[in-house]
């Protein structure tokens, strides 16, 4: 038996490409990483003061609420965690430098959508509430029946009395029993 020779690959410290990527970590925090190529630094030095003499800045823009702010970062940093105040918004980050008291953009990140920091405002236990592409059409004990809007209309017409009894809290409700037809006639219903 021949043992395989162990190989070791070292990742380069720099890929020499100008890039900035914005990632969402949570509803209140994003992560951004970047790299600036030697060519981009040379181009910056032609049109502005010396790159290393300028203050490194991340400009965070909330595209949903239309405001932005600057975060000074270490000139040696290549990543940063950004805490955000507004969840449920689209954000974009620009990597730049402050040159002669003016922000100079080097590169702009992708747009990232920060999720909401609170649960959805609707209640899935109520009738007629949209759940993905489905409406809740039945709810008895632990079983909930969902169907798409077309099935819901058909079901409501076929079983109007049972549906109304259930809504009114009547004990004469045989809602789930009468829905067997509905479930059997369509393959697109879901039960939970």
101-143 pLDDT per residue, tens = 899 999 999 999 999 887 765 554 455 545 455 555 555 555 5
List b or e across 86-117, with b for residues whose CB sees 16 or more CB atoms inside 10 angstroms: ebebebbbbbbbbbeeeebebbebeebebeee
Domains observed in the chain: 19-113 (2.60.40.10), 130-191 (no CATH)
Closest CA to 30 of 71, 66, 67, 1: 71
Average pLDDT for residues 83-95, to the nearest whole number? 94
**How many other C-beta atoms are found inside a 10 Å radius of the C-beta of residue 166?**
21
pTM as predicted: 0.59
Contact 31, 78 (CB under 8 A): no
pLDDT tens digits, one per residue of 153-170: 555 555 555 545 555 655
């Amino acid at each position: 038996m021949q043992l395989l020779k162990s190989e070791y690959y070292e990742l380069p410290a720099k890929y020499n490409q100008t890039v900035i990527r914005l990632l969402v970590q949570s509803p209140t925090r994003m992560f951004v990483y970047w790299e600036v190529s030697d060519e981009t630094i040379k181009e910056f030095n032609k049109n502005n003061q010396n790159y290393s003499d300028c203050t490194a800045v991340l400009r965070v823009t909330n595209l949903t609420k239309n405001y932005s702010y600057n975060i000074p970062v270490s000139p040696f940093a290549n990543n940063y965690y950004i805490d955000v105040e507004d969840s449920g918004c689209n954000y974009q980050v620009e990597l730049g430098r402050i040159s002669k008291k003016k922000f100079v953009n080097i590169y702009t990140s992708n747009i990232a959508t920060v999720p909401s920091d609170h649960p959805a405002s609707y209640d899935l236990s109520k009738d007629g509430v949209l759940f993905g592409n489905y409406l809740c059409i039945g709810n008895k004990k632990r079983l909930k029946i969902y169907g798409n809007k077309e099935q819901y209309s058909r079901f409501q017409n076929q079983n109007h009395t049972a549906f109304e009894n259930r809504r009114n809290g009547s004990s004469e409700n045989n809602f789930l029993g009468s829905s067997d037809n509905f479930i059997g006639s369509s393959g697109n219903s879901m039960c939970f």
